[in-house]
Amino acid sequence: MGLKRKDLAQRFDVIWYKNVPTFPTSSSNNYNMKTSSPSIPGPLPKPERVLAWSIWIFHSLFAFVIAYWVSNGKAKGWIKHWMQDSSYLPGWKMDLSDAEWAYYRQTVWHLLLDYGLHSLGIYLSKHCLPSPISRYAIILTGFLVHIHMSSFQCIVVLYAFAATVIFATWLMGGAKLVPWILCISFIAKATQYVPFSSGTHIFYREFNIYLYGSIKILNFALYLSDGPKFRNFWKLLEESLLYFSYLPYSMTLIVRFEDFKEQFEKWEKNREIFCWETKKSAIWFGVRLAFWGAFIDFLLHFIHVQALFNSPDSLVNSLNVYEVCAIAYVAGQLFHVKYVVIFGVPAFFAALDGFQPPPPPICISRVSLYSRMWRHFDNGLYQFLKHQVYIPVMRKPLPLVLSILRGLAALCAVFGVVLAWHGTRRHYIFWVTLSATELIVERIGWQIWERPEVQKLRERIGEHGCRRIMATLMLLTVTPGIFGVFFFLGQEGVGETIAMNVVVQGFLDVINFNISAFPLTAGFAFLHILTLAMFLEYIKPFCSFVPEVAKPERKIQFREKVMWTAVTLFIYLVCCQIPLFGIMTSDSADPLYWMRAIMASNRGTLMELGISPIVTSGMIMQLLAGIKVIEVGDSPKERALFNASQKLFGMLITIGQALVYVMTGMYGDPSEIGAGICLLLVVQLTIAGLIVLLLDELLQNGYGLGSGISLFIATNICETIIWKTFSPATINSGRGTEFEGAAIALFHLLATRSDKIRALREAFYRGHLPNLMNLLATVFIFSIVIYLQGFRVELPIKSSRQRGQYATYPIKLFYTSNMPIILQSALVSNIFVISQMLANKWGGNIFVDIFGKWGDDNNARGIPTGGLCYYLSPPHSFAEMYNDPLHCIVYIVFMLGTCAFFSKSWIDVSGSSAKDVAKQLKDRQMVMRGHREASMIHELNRYIPTAAAFGGLCVGALSVTADFMGAIGSGTGILLAVTIIYQYFETFVKEQAEAGGVMGMFLN
């Protein structure tokens, strides 16, 4: 017994469109695109989806930027002969080498007129004429508008061909092979034997009328072949003429006769003269179409990717792989937008009439499975292939082997129709072959997915991990699709040449680890790897190779802590003075000058990287854990694994930063230094980074006071402040020899200048070197921060077990201490480094200049002079604020916003949120006075998030104020130094209280 048509329709979606629900079978013309599937793992966490979306958007925008650079830069001379004068921008040229779009824009106003006349005609016929006559009026309107759109001879030929096909089908007893052979032959040979009018725009319309008209004829003939339909001949003739004469379904849209019949009957029964809800959605759709049509036409004045595709040799030989891929990507996106307009215009008028046309293409970058591509790109063609090709082939059930062979036969039949439609040229055959390969690989993947072993693995690694692995394995289907686009869009060997070049050169870049060939892709891929499921479990085997400092087995006395802290500081200071072996003297600007004190680094020494790898790894890992991308439990084992992973990640960042520093010429041209010295430099920086990691771990494990990060930052900043205050170094500023230190300069100027008032003025306000106003500003900010450290709210708590035991829980104004400013500094330092690296390599490009322009001052410091980095850098005086108020406003907003955000986020990832504090109090058997245990979280939420956000704002405001006042060491640096020193002071007081006095601290 054969399968029913409804079952086959569902099976078509299951086999080639796996896990995509079928359209409701009660209404075959329902084009609702919403899908869901219980068999596909659930969505990933929102932050990870935002990350993936951001990567896609940024890559897409950058591809357009690259296409613009190439079109108006190195490739401009190759493609100028393809350019044509703009029709609405005098003096401008535009790329109209895409023949289809060139023809369409010539005839679009004619199409809009005909569609509009047709919609008006059928509207008046429906509402002004009685039912029997209105149908004839609709047919006559459609016939006349068809003639006006094409020509009388075109419509006569098409209707004569329709009569021939229908008669031949009837004569052969309804054999489906007959209409197939006749219509496919007509499609393939129409341009050779069918008469056309002169003029390219008329030819374009007639060609589409012939092409899509033959599909209409085929649909109707196949409808007749399904059963005895000839009994009511006159009704059938009327319905066929209504179908053939409906204009919106005669060009670019494919709608089966059964679907049209159902839509027309619903439309005819609806006697409502005007429905605003229906018209409103159609009008909004038309507005979007008008925007996209204007957008693509305007964009062709700036981006000329189609012309580049017509120049294969020069394109491949003169552009790198990244540029070729960007051009191919943009060509694909413009191809998609073009068909949004071409498919959308008739769909708009059909929707305006009250019909349900196939929707225009959605954004192709959102289609993850190739089996869904046809459904989302050309839904009318999808429905046609599904009902007219696949279902007839797959009607009868067969054994497994024969069923597989028949499935392949159905696939060949489907793509055979596609080849007949597009032609059998070489590049189309390659495209069809790659498309079929994608579907076969995808089908095999679904079969593997349904295996019990895979489902057990799915339960083991979780839904999120399973979805990530599936997304990674989809590269096996995405890759053929990408090269299929090359072949489809690149004609006469262009696609083949580009594809082979990308494959060969891209493979060589990968095996040679040539990151410079695809910097953004490599960077974003690295970020995306961090979001893989079970991240900690994956790296667990490697954590054993990371050296660690064992935790003390006994309590460390205060004097021992002081000794280990002093030893740690001594090692750090020694490393700050040992120069790297093998570096060449370079007068290039220092991209990290403004962050050296904050990152505790010293240029050209073993401490070149400072604490940057530790802070960066900690920031990324803590944020990933906080937003639940990395799952971290509360058990000691999982916390230890997380800390080991953070160290391992810090080592990887150290190696990565070392490679970037060496390969980008920070210490001289790598080709001049030599591979051996480059390797030695990387090894030195890596070992120094490991030393910093171990020193920090030594202090944090309880052997010393505080943490290594805090100690190194405070030391570096205090060193900077003391040096700029008392530096005996002399500098010739053009007005004589001056001392660099502000305090020494005061006495020197008073002693050497005859005009004492002028000497005092210069000592207080000199602009090129540290002055006394800078020193006073530093003291003022220092005092303010110390004063604000005492601001706190003390919440009363009591023991839940012992009556009468009371205490307070303090919530400080600076609830997250200096963490917001450390994270903000790490963020800005990385942005600055990346910006200056890009500026050194691709300076002058629009995108790079938007990111940041850089200049040098007399002290070989990298100064941001424009772009994003300029606005993220602080103005260093009130004069700079006055001269550029926009810079001031952007910097204030950025500092306050990032500090508040980091402070608010940090409480969730550092175990200091209201939930965590309530848990800590509960573990200590403490509760808040006047509140039950269950309401503690709610009460703490009134204070902690507010204190974190407001404290972050205050930290940012203090840093901004210090920068504007010109404080020595930058506002961020002073803030860090003060908070760190205050932490050490609190530690000292605590130890003193435990030891019973100062003497007890050192004698016990």
3-state secondary structure of 653: helix
Residue 733 contacts residue 768 (beta carbons within 8 Å): yes
Chain center to CA of 908: 25
pLDDT of residue 773: 86
pLDDT of residue 860: 47
For 107-155, the DSSP string reads: HHHHHHHHHHHHHHHHHHHHHHS-HHHHHHHHHHHHHHHHHHHS-HHHH
Across the chain, mean pLDDT equals 77
pLDDT digits (tens, 9 = 90+) for 442-471: 888 878 877 888 878 777 777 777 777 777
Mean pLDDT score, 65-89: 82
Residue in this structure with the two tokens 């800005």, named with its chain if needed: 828
Residue 81 contacts residue 119 (beta carbons within 8 Å): no
pLDDT of residue 586: 53
pLDDT exceeds cutoff 70 at 326 = yes
The candidate with the shortest Cα–Cα distance to 41, out of 444, 473, 529, is 473
pLDDT exceeds cutoff 50 at 635 = yes
pLDDT of residue 35: 37
Is 774-1003 CATH 1.10.10.10?
no
pLDDT of residue 986: 80
- Cβ contacts of residue 342 below 8 Å, gap of 6+? 100, 104, 252
pLDDT of residue 442: 81
Whole-angstrom Cα distance, residue 69 to residue 845? 8
Mean pLDDT score, 683-704: 86
pLDDT digits (tens, 9 = 90+) for 913-930: 777 788 877 777 777 777
Whole-angstrom Cα distance, residue 113 to residue 117? 6
pLDDT exceeds cutoff 70 at 849 = yes
pLDDT digits (tens, 9 = 90+) for 229-260: 556 778 888 888 999 999 999 888 889 998 99
The candidate with the shortest Cα–Cα distance to 666, out of 855, 845, 836, 868, is 836
The candidate with the shortest Cα–Cα distance to 980, out of 814, 827, 825, 791, is 814
Query: What is the b/e burial string over 597-611, where b = at least 16 CB atoms within 10 angstroms of the residue's CB?
Result: bbbbbbbebbbbbbb
pLDDT digits (tens, 9 = 90+) for 7-16: 444 444 444 4
Architecture of the CATH domain 534-705: Orthogonal Bundle (1.10)
Instruction: Provide φ and ψ at 590, rounded to 5°.
Output: -90, 110
Mean pLDDT score, 151-174: 89
Range list for CATH 1.10.3370.10 in the chain: 534-705, 774-1003
pLDDT of residue 18: 39
pLDDT digits (tens, 9 = 90+) for 19-70: 333 323 333 344 333 333 445 666 777 766 777 777 778 778 888 888 888 8
pLDDT of residue 498: 66
